[in-house]
Amino acid sequence: MTGTPLLDDRARLRADPLAFGVGARVTVAVMADRYADVILGAVRGADATGLVLDTGDVSTYAGGSEADLLRWLTDLSAAVAASGEHAAIAVHLSRGCPGEAVCELPGGAGPRSTDVPAGRETGTFASAEWALYPLADQVTAGVEPDHMRDIHAAIDFARGNGTFRKSEHFVTRLEGDLGRVLETVLAGWTMVGRSVQHVTSHLTISVNSPSHRGARP
C-alpha cells in the first residue's frame, strides 16, 4: 500500500489489529537446565485465543488485539514464574506500523483508540525496566499528537496501580505483582496510542531473582 489511504481505508486499518500491526515479540529465558520444558509448558498453557502466533529461535511473535495480548502475556509469564526458576522475559510491543524499517502505513491510518485492557493479579513478584516510544509523531488523520501528555498519563497510571518505582537511565523501573506490571505497560502503550499512530514499548522483566527472596507483590 502506498500513498494516503482513503477515509474508509483508514477506519478499516484502525479497526483491524492485524492490519494496524498490533502485536508483541516475546523472549522467555529460563535460567535452569530444564529451560525447554518450562518454556514449552508455559507456551502450551497460555490462552492464545484471538492471536496469531509464530515461534522463532530468538522470540515468539503474537499478533492481535491489545486485550488478547495482555491476557496471553500474563498467562505466559505467570506460568514461567510458577516454575520457581529465575527467568528474564523480554517483551517488545508495537502498534501502528506492520513493517519494520519502512512503515507500511505511510499515508497515515491515524491513531487507533482502544480501551485500556484490564490485567489480573498473579500473586508473583516481578521487577522490570520499561521504555515507551511514541514514533511517527506527526499529525495523522487530523489528530494532533501530544505524547508528553500521554506519557505522563501512563506514569500516573503506574503510580495509581502501585507499580511505579523510579526513573533510571533510559527506563522506568516497575515493581509489584507480575500481572500489574504487564497491565501498566499495556496501558501506557494504548494510552500514548490515542494520539500517536506508531507506538512501541520494550519491557524486561525479572522473576524469581535471587535478589528478590522474600519479596511479595
All three cell numbers of 135 = 514514533
Asked if 87 is part of the footprint of a copy of itself (rule: CB under 8 A), the reply reads: yes
- The span from the first CA to the last CA of the chain, in angstroms, equals 46
Instruction: Select the residue interacting with a copy of itself from 12, 48, 53, 61 (CB under 8 A).
Output: 61
* Strand extents, DSSP E, 96-208: 125-135, 164-168, 171-177, 198-207
Q: How far is the CB of 82 from a copy of itself (least distance, A)?
A: 18
**Cα–Cα distance measured from residue 136 to residue 132, given in angstroms and rounded to the nearest whole number:** 13
Asked if 211 is part of the footprint of a copy of itself (rule: CB under 8 A), the reply reads: yes
Residues within window 146-205 making contact with a copy of itself, judged by CB under 8 A: 148, 151-152, 155, 167-173, 200, 202, 204-205
Instruction: Select the residue interacting with a copy of itself from 63, 111, 176, 179 (CB under 8 A).
Output: 63
Asked if 127 is part of the footprint of a copy of itself (rule: CB under 8 A), the reply reads: yes
Q: Of 89, 84, 78, whose CA–CA distance to 42 is shortest?
A: 78
Asked if 60 is part of the footprint of a copy of itself (rule: CB under 8 A), the reply reads: no
Instruction: Select the residue interacting with a copy of itself from 1, 7, 131, 139 (CB under 8 A).
Output: 131
Asked if 25 is part of the footprint of a copy of itself (rule: CB under 8 A), the reply reads: yes
Measuring CA to CA, how many Å separate 101 from each of 121, 164, 170?
36, 32, 22
Asked if 92 is part of the footprint of a copy of itself (rule: CB under 8 A), the reply reads: yes
Q: Of 212, 207, 208, 205, whose CA–CA distance to 90 is shortest?
A: 205
Measuring CA to CA, how many Å separate 74 from each of 68, 134, 170, 180?
10, 24, 24, 9
Asked if 48 is part of the footprint of a copy of itself (rule: CB under 8 A), the reply reads: no
Asked if 12 is part of the footprint of a copy of itself (rule: CB under 8 A), the reply reads: no
Asked if 128 is part of the footprint of a copy of itself (rule: CB under 8 A), the reply reads: yes
Instruction: Specify the amino acid at residue 73.
Output: L
Residues in Cβ contact with 4 at an 8 Å cutoff, skipping those fewer than 6 apart = 107, 108
All three cell numbers of 40 = 514449552
Instruction: Give the binding site for a copy of itself (CB under 8 A).
Output: 21, 23, 25, 27, 29-33, 35-36, 56-59, 61, 63, 86-88, 90, 92, 94, 97-102, 127-129, 131-133, 135, 137, 148, 151-152, 155, 167-173, 200, 202, 204-206, 209-212
